[in-house]
Every structure is written in C-alpha cells, then in structure tokens.
Structure 1
Amino acid sequence: MRIPTQAVLLRIFIGEDDRGDGRPLYEAIVLKAREAHLAGATVLRGGLGFGHSSRLHTTKILRLSLDLPLVVEIVDEEHKINAFLEILESFMTDGLVTLEKVQVLQYRPNGTD
C-alpha cells in the first residue's frame, strides 16, 4: 500500500467503555477502518484525562478507574478519510473527532525498501 507524501490524520478521542456497532467502540472503529482498506489504525490508551463532563479518568493505583481515555489514530489520503467519516458517523454517538494535514515521511511494510 502506498501513501502519498501529503495525507490526513484522523484522531478520535473516546472512552474505554464507549460502545458502537455492538462492541467496544475502539474495536468497531478499527474493524471498520480495515474494511474500508485504510492504511492502518492505532489505539492509544491514556493514563489520565477528562472530557466534556470534566470528570478525571485515571490509572492511579488507589483509585480504580473504568472508562480510561482512548485515542484512535488513522492516517491516509484525504478522500479516503473523508469517506470513512461518513461510516464513522453512522455508529459513533460520543467522542471528539479531529482532522489535520500531515506529511508522511516514511511508510514501509517490514522488510521492504
């Protein structure tokens, strides 16, 4: 798969307990991105964060927290990301979605030049 030098970064901020399409939302997003043949998706788990409720979500030992913050990142061509946004809107009800233009410096599958 070849990604152009200029691409778009889709960043989706959600909670660990959020659900979509009958499963954890982060999982649903990654599976839909794969079905849409996007270049890849990464889920990042946050140790501390807050959202619109201003309630802190943390991994501190003395305070068990569920619903930790997650960020799903996807980089691909702008038209492919825009098409994916329509799919995302059909099953995502909560969260923050951002887009930014990025410059891809390197994208190589393992073992290739």
Structure 2
Amino acid sequence: MKLEGSALRLTIFVGESDTWHHRPLYHEIVHRAHAAGLAGASVLRGIEGYGASSRIHTSRILSLSEDLPLAIIIVDAEDRIRAFLPQLDELVAEGLVIIDPVEVIRYAGRGDER
C-alpha cells in the first residue's frame, strides 16, 4: 500500500480495562482496523492520565492502577478513516475519538527499499 502526502490521524483514547465482549477494547479496534485494510495501527500505553471521569490513573506503584490510559493511533487516507468511524461508534462507549490532518512523509514496511 502506498501512503504519502495528506492523510488523517485517528486517535482513540480508552482505558486499559475497557472491554468488548470480554476482550480488550484496544485489541478489537486494532483487529477491525486491520480487517478494514487501514494502513496501520499502534497502541500506546500511558503512564498517567485522566479523562471524562476526572479520576487520575497512574502507573506509580503506590497507586496500583489497572486502568492506565491507552491511545490507539491509525493514519490513513481521509476516505478510509471516515469509512471506519461507524465501527468506533459501535465499540467506544467511553473515551475520546479525535481526527487531525497530517502529512505522511514516508510509509514503508520492512524490506521496502529507500
């Protein structure tokens, strides 16, 4: 897949303990993005944060949080990102979904020549 120039970055913020049918929500989002043929997805685990609940979640040992913030980031062409949004409406009950414009400078897999 070739991806360069103008694109959209879709970022979904959820909690580590969020689930979809007894499986981690982030796992379901990544697998649906893959099935939809999106260019790629990454899940980043935060060390501290809070959201709409205003409850601070932290990785500090004394707090023993099991619900750290996660960000699922997907970059692809605008039409493909927008076509994926209805799936997020189904999946994300609590969280934040944002889209921002980006410019892709290089998108290459392993083994791709420079």
Normalising by structure 1, we get a TM-score of 0.95
Distance in 2 between residues matched to 1:44 and 1:9, nearest whole Å: 14
Distance in 2 between residues matched to 1:68 and 1:110, nearest whole Å: 31
Query: Does residue 57 of the first structure (1) align with residue 57 of the second (2)?
Result: yes
Q: Where does residue 11 of structure 1 map in the other structure? A: 11
Distance in 2 between residues matched to 1:39 and 1:74, nearest whole Å: 8
Q: Where does residue 45 of structure 1 map in the other structure? A: 45
Distance in 2 between residues matched to 1:21 and 1:8, nearest whole Å: 29
**Residues 16 and 68 of structure 2 are in contact (CA less than 8 Å); yes or no, is this contact kept in structure 1?**
yes
Q: Where does residue 93 of structure 1 map in the other structure? A: 93
Superposed displacement of residue 110, structure 1 = 1.2
Query: Once the two structures are superposed, what CA deviation does each residue of 1:58-78 show, in whole Å capped at 9, x if it has no partner?
Result: 010122001100000000000
**Residues 14 and 95 of structure 1 are in contact (CA less than 8 Å); yes or no, is this contact kept in structure 2?**
yes
Distance in 1 between residues matched to 2:54 and 2:63, nearest whole Å: 17
Distance in 1 between residues matched to 2:86 and 2:102, nearest whole Å: 21
**Residues 7 and 102 of structure 1 are in contact (CA less than 8 Å); yes or no, is this contact kept in structure 2?**
yes
Q: What is the total number of aligned residue pairs between the two structures? A: 113
**Residues 13 and 69 of structure 2 are in contact (CA less than 8 Å); yes or no, is this contact kept in structure 1?**
yes
Runs (5+) with no aligned partner, structure 1? none
Query: Once the two structures are superposed, what CA deviation does each residue of 1:58-101 show, in whole Å capped at 9, x if it has no partner?
Result: 01012200110000000000000000001111222111000000
Superposed displacement of residue 22, structure 1 = 4.0
Runs (5+) with no aligned partner, structure 2? none
Counting aligned pairs with the same residue, the percent is 49
Normalising by structure 2, we get a TM-score of 0.94
Give the 4+ runs in structure 1 shifted more than 3 A.
none
Query: Once the two structures are superposed, what CA deviation does each residue of 1:40-75 show, in whole Å capped at 9, x if it has no partner?
Result: 000000000001111110010122001100000000
Show the 5 A alignment for 1:94-113: 94-113=94-113
Over the aligned positions, Cα root-mean-square deviation in angstroms equals 1.0
